[in-house]
Structure 1
Amino acid sequence: MVSETLEQVGQEAQRYPYTLLLMRHAQAESVGAEGDRSRPLSLLGRQQASRMGRALTQERLIPDRIACSGALRTRQTLERMLPDFGDGPSVDYRESLYSSGLQAVWDELGQTKADEHRLLILTHEPTVSAGAQLLADTESAESSLLQLDLGMSPASIALFASSEPIAAWTPHSARLLALFGPRDC
């Protein structure tokens, strides 16, 4: 998904004081014991989540705060990533990120404190691709924007950056630096 290496993307992100990692959960089983909300990660999904946690740590993209949907597959994705992050990030589990779609993403942005420079929002499709399209400014790579039209694949991340605090972001105000996933790591 990325045209440059993940290392280059990580270096570019370090030049901005505020970054957002908008992530789709890793691959899940097609059914859950108690319906959609209880769908667990597949074996591949567990591998994808671990790979993404290692990659974010390696590229120094560890979040200050994580907002995670309450669905089982998102919680399991995060559980596989957290050991790589150490004690740094605070974690908020939000049922709204499962049930309220794009509004929940905007709520998380608005609740972000100025001293939280890197936010990870872990949620579902189509919320992640719609949110990414809405956030991306006009300087964002057209190829990445076109890819968002197809949706984001499991365990993929849209990486945004800005010089403005995250709580001040409005539609089309953040630079989409890259889309990347497990295959890029």
Structure 2
Amino acid sequence: MIEPEPFRIYLMRHAQAASATPGGRDFDRVLDDRGYAQAEMVADRAADLGYVPDCLVSSTATRCRQTAEIVRRAVGETLDIQFVDEIYSGTPDLYATIISGQRPAHSVMLIGHNPSIDQLLEGLIGKEQRRTAMPGGYPTAGLAVLDYTAGTDAGSWTLTNLLSV
């Protein structure tokens, strides 16, 4: 997995999206009214807490793009967003590789999809801590804040905060 030095990861699941339209693609689903509200509340709370990533990497799916733009508005218009096609159907290992590729940034936000974002979180902090933090699963617009702590033998990831609606 990811083993940087001083580092923070923000893992955000896209906000709630409207149901797929008949004949429409899942990829094109947009945020519904509740999703916009979720994303705005979580993004505003993150900004209030000083959770501002050095860079943001997002899936190109419409609901992720919309969530990313809401985050940018809340934390700062100058935040650089990279949209990556592979996140849409990516594995937790791919998510980890994308995050690791953002060095020398000290903090990275990734906006992605379940189940991969949930599986990545579990891989970083462990199954028990993940279940305790999110007994009902990874919520839409959920933002996990993880900090890396270097240890004597090996470093570890700690769930510092979880923002959700």
TM-score class, shorter-chain normalisation, is 0.7 to 0.9
- 1:144·1:179 contact (CA, 8 Å) conserved in 2? no
For 1:23, the aligned partner's letter is: M
Distance, in Å, in 2 between the alignment partners of 1:133 and 1:143 is 8
Offset at residue 22 of structure 1 (A): 0.6
Identity %: 24
Moved more, 52-61 or 145-154: 145-154
Offset at residue 89 of structure 1 (A): 2.3
Hey, which of these two has a bigger chunk of helix by percent?
A: 1
Residues 1:75 and 2:65 aligned together: yes
Give the equivalent residue in structure 2 for 1:126: 115
For 2:92, the aligned partner's letter is: L
Q: Classify the secondary structure of the residue corresponding to 2:156.
A: coil
TM-score when normalising by structure 1? 0.76
Moved more, 145-154 or 86-95: 145-154
Distance, in Å, in 1 between the alignment partners of 2:78 and 2:126 is 29
Offset at residue 143 of structure 1 (A): 5.2
- 2:148·2:158 contact (CA, 8 Å) conserved in 1? yes
Give the equivalent residue in structure 2 for 1:135: 124
Offset at residue 41 of structure 1 (A): 0.4
For 1:135, the aligned partner's letter is: L
Distance, in Å, in 1 between the alignment partners of 2:122 and 2:31 is 26
Q: Which aligned pairs between 1:18-167 and structure 2 lie closer than 5 A?
A: 18-32=7-21, 34-114=24-104, 116-136=105-125, 142=128, 144-148=130-134, 150-163=136-149
Q: Structure 1, residues 144-172: CA drift from partner, whole Å, max 9, x if none?
A: 433446420100012110145xxxxx9x8
- 1:137·1:174 contact (CA, 8 Å) conserved in 2? no
TM-score when normalising by structure 2? 0.84
Q: Structure 1, residues 54-95: CA drift from partner, whole Å, max 9, x if none?
A: 111100001111010010111011122211222442211011
Considering only aligned residues, what root-mean-square deviation do their CA atoms show, in Å? 2.4
For 1:25, the aligned partner's letter is: H
- 2:99·2:110 contact (CA, 8 Å) conserved in 1? no
Unmatched segments (≥5 aa) in structure 2: none
Distance, in Å, in 2 between the alignment partners of 1:85 and 1:178 is 17
Task: Tell me how many residue pairs correspond in the alignment.
Answer: 157
